[in-house]
Amino acid sequence: MSDDLSAKRFHDEDAAREYLEAIRWPDGPVCPHCGSMERNSRLQGKSHRPGLMFCGDCRKQFSVTIGTVFERSKVPLYKWVLASHLLCSSKKGMSSHQLHRMLGVTYKTAWFMTHRIREAMTTDQKTPMGSTGDAVEVDETYWGTSKAKPKGARGYDHKMKVLSLVERDGEKRTFHVPRVNAATLRPILKAQMSEKARLMTHEASVYTKVGREFAEHGVVVHSAKEYSRGDVTTNSVESSFALLKRGLIGTFHHVGEQHLQRYVTEFDFRWNHRKSTDGNEQNPC
């Protein structure tokens, strides 16, 4: 499919619907209620809205938007398709203000759309990372402020905390955490990583004990200006933070703590789809 913004699916309701149907139902319509593919028919006539289908098995109506973030929305479908494309193809994200100007919708509507699309970017996290013995880099970073910094205080306790896991040549998973300590981080690492994984971290003590529960715990000592030792490094996860923060600072400027998880999930999605099979950047939408 062409990514040209003049493509018909970005400006025409019927073309947008046909585009989504081709993606969701490549082998023909599937009833979302009963899963039937045999007796589905398209309802015609002025008394039925465009794209409405009827299942002859369960006798229920459905359309391609059922069960998607586009369901029960009064925003034209082609604007949803364009918004999804713009968010997926923007390397550092796109603000709701920019989207409302480009789509010709109110800021409130654009905000609603962007957050729905971010929810759709959530990926399946059931498969343990590093299950084939691959290295999984883990690091934490800090963003904004979650509370006022006490006078004379040091450190990052007043900031929002983010933990990321990056599998070498694989996916990234990021979590907004309340605190950076062993009690908070250990359950996440145990839930997300296989015992066969090779854990790669910096020298912080929060990783020392949990590191013994994996096949290997490689540590780089940043305080000694060590950033790699053979294949022991956290360079990949640190690079992902650079992209995340360029987006947060340059595109969104301010992100409230209650919404931070959605934004880091968006950047995980972008990281996980950053390369196609031929090595070129691709638009996953």
Topology given in CATH for the domain delimited by 135-272: Nucleotidyltransferase; domain 5 (3.30.420)
> What are the domain boundaries of the chain?
8-120, 135-272
Q: What is the mean pLDDT of residues 81-105?
A: 94
pLDDT at 145: 86
Q: What is the mean pLDDT of residues 169-182?
A: 94
Q: Who contacts 148 (Cβ-Cβ below 8 Å, separation ≥6)?
A: 158
pLDDT tens sequence across 1-54: 456 889 999 999 999 999 999 999 999 999 999 999 999 999 998 889 999 999
- How many other CB atoms are there within 10 angstroms of residue 255's CB atom? 18
How many alpha carbons lie under 13 Å from residue 138 in its C-beta half-sphere? 30
pLDDT at 153: 72
pLDDT for 89 beyond 80: yes
Give Cα 10 to chain centroid, integer Å.
22
Is residue 226 within 8 Å of residue 244, measured between CB atoms?
A: no
The CA distance from 281 to 102, in Å, is 23
Q: What is the pTM of this model?
A: 0.85
Q: Check residue 21 and report its DSSP letter.
A: H
